[in-house]
Structure 1
Amino acid sequence: MSAYDELIAFQRDTQALAQVAGRLGWDQETVMPRGAADQRSEEMAAMESVLHARRTDPKVGDWLDRAEAADDVARANLRLIRREHERATKVPADLAKALAGATSRAQGIWAEARANEDVAAFLPTLAEILRLRREEASAIAGGADPYDALLQDYEPGITGSELEAMFSRMRPRLVDLRGRIMASGVSPEPLRGHFPEDRQLALSAEIAARFGYDVAHGRIDKAVHPFSSGSGADVRITTRVSEADPLGCLYSTIHEVGHGCYELHIDPAYRLSVLGQGVSMGVHESQSRAYENQMGRSRAFTGWLFEKMRATFGELNVADADAFHAAVNRVHSGYIRTEADEVHYNLHILLRFDLERALIAGDLQVGDLEAAWNDRFAADFGVPVDRPSNGMLQDVHWSVGLFGYFPTYTLGNVYAGCLFRALREDLGDVDAQMATGDLSGATGWMARNLQRHGGLYEPREAVERAARAPVTEEPLLDYLDAKFGAIYGG
């Protein structure tokens, strides 16, 4: 075989092992016995040692030096494998293993601290995770900005300064829109009642199928913090259930279906290769957020969903489809990011971006994080944090070391705005189709124009090719102004 063929064969096994490691993580979050946490930590650390050894194997560097690319696919493979190899070789094996073990242990500690509203019980673990990630970031950065080094794990090619500039442009319009809504005097009635879990899960499964999720290659389970896992032929999602709030279950499902469909629709020829997965978390979020918001919270789709809700749960406390649409898109200063309306959501992300950037830089200490969070939340949302599970303990991300991940949520919203503008230009009256509960036109456009490419293009290029325009925050902000102006009268 040629050097390229040998490299790809070796890489295929590495990707397969990474999928196995991912399945261990899925199991831990869904069905693993609580008492298995310490053993699972060792198992995850062992898997990371194997993966790190393969990614840093000198043979990979030799193959990369000798491999020749015959086409665009081969060039993309070599580019991504080289990026992964260079990053891995900068991180000592013992540090990679320590991180895997510590983040695995931390999930259970975070969950228990969150359940007990006990920040102090979590702080030593968070301090350890932060120390390890800062050490890793310094090794990768080589004197450059450590936070930028961490960003590359989630959004290759972006910098903290670029994100800061984009977010600074967005903040005034978001704050202005929020102010106009709060001053409008319009207060949509929220959905109230008792919504049995079994009916929620049955309806969420039906909706998942309508958005294109294939349970022959996946499954839907429950988790404290909904997530998706896997790629290729095995892509699993989770949701959450509150019998007082069916929208949390339904829209968590739709959100994770967006992630899952991205992975399921990647060209099968890329399976178990570096191209066979979403190109970045920002692009991934563009899919989950477009599915959840531009499609799932549209007036067209919520009109169909209103009738399904009545058929499933009986008469609702909201009078008609318009009132239901307003309830689904109700703007309020809630505590929880995953439950936030589209206006407040990005303010949640800007808060986390600023705080984690300060943590990595050493400008904010772990012991001061809760106070900093609470002060910023009160300033941005106008209400004080009432308990830690509604504040700094609400998200799993920092406990598992995902520093640099949060800004990709807002970047995903920006990408979604660009993509959906192009989708509407191409499909015309897509609302008429969505009003019947048929999402195939919109989801098919995403599959054809973006999802099938996997990692073939760099993140920004992938979006700009599909959107046929440079990435900018303007389409998202225009969409928000139009949508919420219609609901809140201006």
Structure 2
Amino acid sequence: MSALTDLLAFQRQTEALSSVAERLGWDQETVMPRGATEQRAEEMGAMEEVLHERRTDPRLGEWLDGADPQTDADRRAVDLIARDFARTSRVPARLASELARLTSLAQGIWAEARAKDAPEDFLPTLDQVLMLKREEAAALADGGDLYDALLEDYEPGMTGARLASLFDAMRPRLVTLRDDVLGADRQPQPLSGHFPQETQLRLARSCATAFGYDWTRGRIDLAVHPFSSGRWQDSRITTRVVETDPFNCIYSTIHEVGHSSYELGIDPDYAFTPLGRGVSMGVHESQSRIYENQMGRGRAFTGWLFERMSEAFDGLNITDPDAFYATVNRVTPGYIRTESDEVQYNLHVMLRFDLERDLISGRLDTRDLVEAWNARFLKDFGVAVDRPANGLLQDVHWAVGLFGYFPTYALGNVYAGCLNQALRADVPDLDEALARGDATPGTEWLRENLQRHGGLMTPTEVIETASGGPIGPEPLLDYLEEKFGRIYAL
């Protein structure tokens, strides 16, 4: 057998075991008994030890040296395995296992602290997670920037400095638009009423179906923080229900369908290889955001949704589809990132990006984090945080060690802006289909132009190839100003 054949066969088993570990995480956030937290932490730690051992196996170096790939797919797979081998080899097995064990425990501690509005119950554990992440970053950075070393796991090739420059360029137009919208004379009416959980979930399933979710390879469950999990032939979604706010459930579902459909849309020949997953979290987020926002919150689809919701809930306090469209896109100075409107969403992300860079660098200590969060939120949004669950405790990411993940949400919006511009040019009748509750023309375009490639290209290459031009924030900002300018008669 050739070195390449041995390498890919070994990698196939590693990918399968990684998928099993991911399923343990899904189970923990959905159906695992609450009393099993400590056992699951040990299981996750054990799985990470096995995976770390495989990812640093000395034979990988020998096979990589001897591999002679002849196709673009094999060359890219070898490059990705080599990158992972080099990075993982820098991290001690003890550290990898301890991180997996601690972040599994921290997830449950965060959830309980959030439910009780008690950051003091969570911050000591977060401090332990942060110490381990700094140690990991130092091992990976090899003398370079600690934050960049962590960011590489989520957006390969990106740096904190480049993101800071991008966000600095976006912020003035976003803040101006936000201020203009909140000060406008025309203000959409909020949706009000009681919306039972089971009815919301039935409607969420209908929306997922409208966006092409493959129920033979997926399922929907409830979670504290919506997420998707899995790949290849099994990619699952979660949502959450607030009985006074059905948009929370509906748009969380559509968002996660975007993530899951990306994984399910990858060329099946790439299964159990490094190419068989989304190439970066920024690209992943471009799919969830374009599903949720440019298609799901557009006037065409909200017209269809208005009819379905009116039927499902036996009438709404909003009686006109145009008014309903404005209500769906209503801009309010809320606290929660996942519930934020398109205008302010990126400002939420920028806050977290700055704070986590300071945490990793040591410029900010966890004991000062609540105060720093609240002060920054007041400065950016003009509203004082009313309780920790609406502030620091609202996101699970830091609890599970995802430092470097947050900025990919805003980067994904930038990518989605570029993709939407190309999609609308290539599929001019998209809104006609969306008005019928059929997102197929849009989802098929995304599958053909982006999703099927998986990890074959770099993040920049796949976005530029699909959108047909360079990446920049202008398409997103132009789209936001045009859309909300019309809604608010600016």
Q: What is the TM-score with the length of structure 1 in the denominator?
A: 1.00
The match for 2:363 is 363
The match for 2:82 is 82
Structure 2, unpaired ranges of 5+: none
Shift of 1:358: 0.4
Amino acid at match of 2:367: G
The match for 1:71 is 71
Q: Distance in 2 between the 1:325 and 1:192 partners?
A: 15
The match for 1:458 is 458
The match for 2:176 is 176
Q: Distance in 2 between the 1:74 and 1:293 partners?
A: 35
Q: Distance in 1 between the 2:212 and 2:55 partners?
A: 34
Q: Distance in 1 between the 2:210 and 2:186 partners?
A: 32
RMSD (Å) for aligned C-alpha atoms: 0.5
Amino acid at match of 2:110: W
Amino acid at match of 2:16: A
Q: Distance in 1 between the 2:314 and 2:415 partners?
A: 37
Q: Distance in 2 between the 1:239 and 1:319 partners?
A: 27
The match for 2:15 is 15
Q: Distance in 2 between the 1:418 and 1:121 partners?
A: 42
Question: Alpha-carbon deviations, 1:331-359, whole Å to 9, x = none?
Answer: 01100000000011000000000000000
The match for 1:390 is 390
Q: Distance in 2 between the 1:43 and 1:144 partners?
A: 33
The match for 1:475 is 475
The match for 2:232 is 232
Shift of 1:385: 0.1
The match for 1:333 is 333
The match for 1:204 is 204
Shift of 1:56: 0.1
Shift of 1:319: 2.2
Mapping for residues 66-215 of structure 1, pairs under 5 Å: 66-215=66-215
The match for 2:435 is 435
The match for 2:261 is 261
Question: Alpha-carbon deviations, 1:370-403, whole Å to 9, x = none?
Answer: 0010001011111100000000000000000000
Amino acid at match of 1:223: A
Shift of 1:453: 0.2
The match for 2:220 is 220
Q: Distance in 1 between the 2:440 and 2:319 partners?
A: 29
Shift of 1:282: 0.2
Percent of pairs with identical residues = 63
Q: Distance in 2 between the 1:431 and 1:284 partners?
A: 23
Shift of 1:183: 1.6
Q: Distance in 2 between the 1:413 and 1:395 partners?
A: 19
Q: Distance in 1 between the 2:97 and 2:380 partners?
A: 38
> Are 2:283 and 1:283 aligned?
yes
Q: Distance in 2 between the 1:432 and 1:482 partners?
A: 20
Amino acid at match of 2:419: L
Shift of 1:315: 1.1
Local SS of the residue matching 2:230: strand
The match for 2:31 is 31
Mapping for residues 270-309 of structure 1, pairs under 5 Å: 270-309=270-309
The match for 2:374 is 374
Local SS of the residue matching 1:144: coil
Local SS of the residue matching 1:229: strand
The match for 1:350 is 350
The match for 2:449 is 449
Amino acid at match of 1:353: F
Local SS of the residue matching 1:393: helix
Question: Alpha-carbon deviations, 1:174-225, whole Å to 9, x = none?
Answer: 0010111112122211111111111111111111011011111011000000
Amino acid at match of 2:268: P
Q: Distance in 2 between the 1:247 and 1:183 partners?
A: 24
Amino acid at match of 1:471: I
Which portions of structure 1, spanning 4 or more consecutive aligned residues, are displaced by more than 2 angstroms?
none
Higher mean C-alpha deviation, range 331-340 or range 424-433: 424-433
Q: Distance in 1 between the 2:80 and 2:212 partners?
A: 29
Local SS of the residue matching 2:216: helix
Local SS of the residue matching 2:155: coil
Q: Distance in 1 between the 2:92 and 2:198 partners?
A: 48
Local SS of the residue matching 2:394: coil
Q: Distance in 2 between the 1:137 and 1:106 partners?
A: 19
Shift of 1:429: 2.5
Q: Distance in 1 between the 2:50 and 2:333 partners?
A: 45
Question: Alpha-carbon deviations, 1:10-46, whole Å to 9, x = none?
Answer: 0000000000000000000000000000000000000
Q: Distance in 1 between the 2:394 and 2:277 partners?
A: 28
Amino acid at match of 1:129: V
Q: What is the TM-score with the length of structure 2 in the denominator?
A: 1.00
Q: Distance in 1 between the 2:183 and 2:236 partners?
A: 42
Question: Alpha-carbon deviations, 1:426-466, whole Å to 9, x = none?
Answer: 11121111111110000100000000000000001110000
Question: Alpha-carbon deviations, 1:78-100, whole Å to 9, x = none?
Answer: 11001110000000000000000
Q: Distance in 2 between the 1:75 and 1:468 partners?
A: 24
The match for 2:242 is 242
Amino acid at match of 1:64: L
Amino acid at match of 1:311: E
Q: Distance in 2 between the 1:359 and 1:303 partners?
A: 44
Amino acid at match of 2:43: E
Mapping for residues 403-418 of structure 1, pairs under 5 Å: 403-418=403-418
Amino acid at match of 1:404: G
Equivalenced residues, count: 490
